[in-house]
Structure 1
Amino acid sequence: MSKNEKKKYIYEKLVEQQSEARLVRRIVLVAAVLLILFAAAAGAGGYFYINKALQPVDESNTKEVKVEIPIGSTVTGIGQILEDNGIIRDARLFRYYVKFRNESGFMAGEYNLNPSMTLPEVIASLKTGTLMQDVVMRITIPEGKQLAQIAGIIAEKTDLNQEEIMNKLNEKEFISKMMDKYPDLLTEDILDEKIKYPLEGYLFPATYPFYTEDPTLEEIITTMLDKTKAVVEEYRGQGEEKGLSVHELLTMASLIEEEATQQVDRAKISSVFYNRMETGMPLQTDPTVLYAHGEHKDRVYYKDLEVESPYNTYLHKGLPPGPIANAGTTSLEAAVNPEETDLLYFLATPEGQVHFSRTLEEHNKLKNEHITNQ
């Protein structure tokens, strides 16, 4: 082979090797991209699966199920029993959750549990030994109720009257005792001098079973606060990401609860509130005005908007000092997951519809169409 032929051969080999190298790099790059996309998809799918599994099996189903936990049951065994009885979604996730949270002290026995319970509630029941008993009394607190209304509901079920209950719920010694019992839930925020009632918005809407004929008011309230604590824990992290303390989270959720006429409107209403705060606009939500007046009205007039109160969001920017009612999970969910919009106005019609708009001009037009001529 001549010198020129040898050079040509070497050159061709180099070109071939470079071509192969480019092909290999391209294959590696494509494989890496596919691997990243697969990992991201798997991670997202895993996140949504875990998030779903942590939610109650059926939030609206409060029908009690008798569940027996045998002596000597392992966490794995307890999780499987709970899944088989429809109390939790996934036994394996229950085991991981218990291990991650370092939970222990589960007690054997027969329990009354229901599919609306969150994982923290189920765990708390199994740890405290709330054994199966006949329910003697139930107290149902609907969504959107204010503290005075809740006191009235409790009064109907007990020997106490509404005034006695309200006095107790606002008693400094009682509030201090509850704050010591629930330090992560009841913070110094509820002692702000502008707050109307410290426990407003902190008694979660649910049906509460009681197993004695005459539970004390403290027993009733602690049962409700236990529920509130368990539910709020599910949203605390997302609230902090939005820059909201627990108190602010419950306050925002209460505004959404009072304004929403349909479940589907809540994320949009939440969006309007966040957009307004970001642009420096007052929230201007009528329920805060009614709360300031201390009365319910079917319609708010311009003269009502003049009430001097820290709760009046027409006069004061930002959130009011505290919640104006109790909020359910759908409003808490909307408070931490507002819809991404550029909306700044909404209008609830007498027929229960909610119309959203981006400008004051659009809003006033809707107002003339649906409200002014009523």
Structure 2
Amino acid sequence: MIEKLNVRKSEGRVVRRIVTIVTLAILLIVLVVGVSGFFYVKSAMKPIDPEATAEIEVEIPMGSGITIISSILEEKKVIKDARVFKYYTKFKNATNFQAGNYVMTQAMTFDEIIESLKTGKVYREPLFTLTIPEGLTLEQISKIVEKHTNYTAEQFMEKVTNKEFIQNMMGTFPDLITEEVFNENIRFALEGYLYPATYSFYEENPSLDDIIKMMISQTNDIVVEYSALLQEKEMTPHQLLTFASLLEEEATAQTDRATIASVFYNRLDADMPLQTDPTVLYALGSHKERVLYEDLEVDNPYNTYKNPGLPPGPIANAGKVSIESALSPTDTDYLYFLADKEGNNHFAKTYDEHLKNIDQYLQQ
């Protein structure tokens, strides 16, 4: 029995030694991998050759997101690792990269590359530009495209309403375009997804796919920038663009969009209809200087006088200010607002206060 106990003790010591050795080995491997990873990332963030002077021509195609851009830069040997550059740009919240043809060198730092891509310092002037203002619908955008390209407004609308094209865009921008765009009652799936900006083109006849993709890519870059806030508010990109489009359409030159956003949020929290006139106009499919009482009765899912909550989808494209306001509204108790004849907004907490504002600012 004593011999057996001694054997067991001996076996126990061996087992403990093995466990200790294995544990130390694993810790050593983790440490080596961690240190190696740290030095690899640190190295990848440095210029490939600080003394390099040779010029490298880099073409960034229209519609390129940061993943594609990073891959191109690595392929052209401007950077060492596409993944490191990609995560660096996200850490720096760098967006709004412009398509075009660039001249770069291996001596450029990450920040210099980012600045170049953001400012669009290209060695070739664009052949033409498209300026898409804030607050436009797809149908209005189609007329701008028709004016500056060889495509008709009808061709543009056929493309943005083509289900195969929309699904293709969903695959390209999965974090932006989801199945929500196919929800019931949505008029146009991509309404509000084409970002308002000035777009430069470096070929004479870019494809319609590329033109539209470029605008969607810009929206994607903007929305991704606020992904943390979206998660915090438990809001989807579709809901964000829908909410922001209401602010964009209600906006005047003097308006405080963040305060208007607070009114909409307060109404939603109180189960009150949003009752915003631009949704009525979108429901009517027409543009009027003044919404009549009879217009408020239109039976349409987009009419926020008749239907609670947000409309099925965006009613126009929204700029960055409206998107930011939708995510960071002012903290108020306001439930009503109106714009006077000069475009100044007046807010009220109660309906009686709102009626007084109507008498004071609109009944003159």
- TM-score relative to the length of structure 1: 0.67
What corresponds to 1:327 in structure 2? 318
How far residue 314 of structure 1 moved from its aligned partner, in angstroms, is 0.5
How far residue 212 of structure 1 moved from its aligned partner, in angstroms, is 0.3
Query: Runs (4+) of structure 1 moved beyond 2 Å?
Result: 73-78, 103-109, 120-127, 129-134, 368-373
What corresponds to 1:305 in structure 2? 296
Residue-pair matches, total = 271
What corresponds to 1:209 in structure 2? 200
Partner Cα separation in structure 1 for residue 355 and residue 250 of structure 2? 18
What corresponds to 1:352 in structure 2? 343
- Indicate how the Cα distance of structure 1 residues 263 and 189 shifts in structure 2: closer, same or farther if over 3 A, else same: farther
Secondary structure of 1:346 counterpart = strand
Listed one character per residue, the Cα deviations across residues 145-187 of structure 1 (whole Å, up to 9, x for unaligned) are 1111111111111112112211221111211221122111110
- Indicate how the Cα distance of structure 1 residues 75 and 254 shifts in structure 2: closer, same or farther if over 3 A, else same: same
What corresponds to 1:151 in structure 2? 142
How far residue 365 of structure 1 moved from its aligned partner, in angstroms, is 1.6
Whether 1:119 aligns to 2:94 is yes
- After TM superposition, the structure 1 stretch with the greater mean CA deviation from structure 2, 250-259 or 235-244, is 235-244
Secondary structure of 2:125 counterpart = coil
Q: Gaps (5+ residues) in structure 2?
A: 1-42, 51-65, 79-91, 101-112
Counterpart code for 2:177? L
Partner Cα separation in structure 2 for residue 310 and residue 139 of structure 1? 32
1:223 to 211, 214, 218: 214
Aligned ranges 1:37-56 → 2 under 5 Å? none
How far residue 200 of structure 1 moved from its aligned partner, in angstroms, is 0.5
What corresponds to 2:19 in structure 1? none
Whether 1:238 aligns to 2:213 is no
How far residue 370 of structure 1 moved from its aligned partner, in angstroms, is 2.6
Partner Cα separation in structure 2 for residue 309 and residue 240 of structure 1? 30
- Indicate how the Cα distance of structure 1 residues 221 and 263 shifts in structure 2: closer, same or farther if over 3 A, else same: farther
How far residue 105 of structure 1 moved from its aligned partner, in angstroms, is 5.5
- TM-score relative to the length of structure 2: 0.69
Secondary structure of 2:347 counterpart = strand
Identity of aligned pairs, percent?
A: 49
What corresponds to 2:328 in structure 1? 337
After superposition, the CA RMSD in angstroms is 2.7
Secondary structure of 2:200 counterpart = strand
Partner Cα separation in structure 1 for residue 251 and residue 335 of structure 2? 15
Counterpart code for 1:330? V
- Indicate how the Cα distance of structure 1 residues 217 and 118 shifts in structure 2: closer, same or farther if over 3 A, else same: farther
Q: Gaps (5+ residues) in structure 1?
A: 1-72, 81-97, 110-116
What corresponds to 2:181 in structure 1? 190
Answer yes or no: is the 8 Å Cα contact 2:254–2:344 preserved in 1: no
Whether 1:315 aligns to 2:315 is no
Partner Cα separation in structure 1 for residue 190 and residue 168 of structure 2? 12
Partner Cα separation in structure 2 for residue 124 and residue 265 of structure 1? 33
Whether 1:267 aligns to 2:258 is yes
How far residue 132 of structure 1 moved from its aligned partner, in angstroms, is 4.0
How far residue 369 of structure 1 moved from its aligned partner, in angstroms, is 2.7
Partner Cα separation in structure 1 for residue 169 and residue 145 of structure 2? 18
Partner Cα separation in structure 1 for residue 99 and residue 224 of structure 2? 13
How far residue 297 of structure 1 moved from its aligned partner, in angstroms, is 0.9
What corresponds to 2:45 in structure 1? 75
Answer yes or no: is the 8 Å Cα contact 1:263–1:330 preserved in 2: no
Secondary structure of 1:208 counterpart = strand
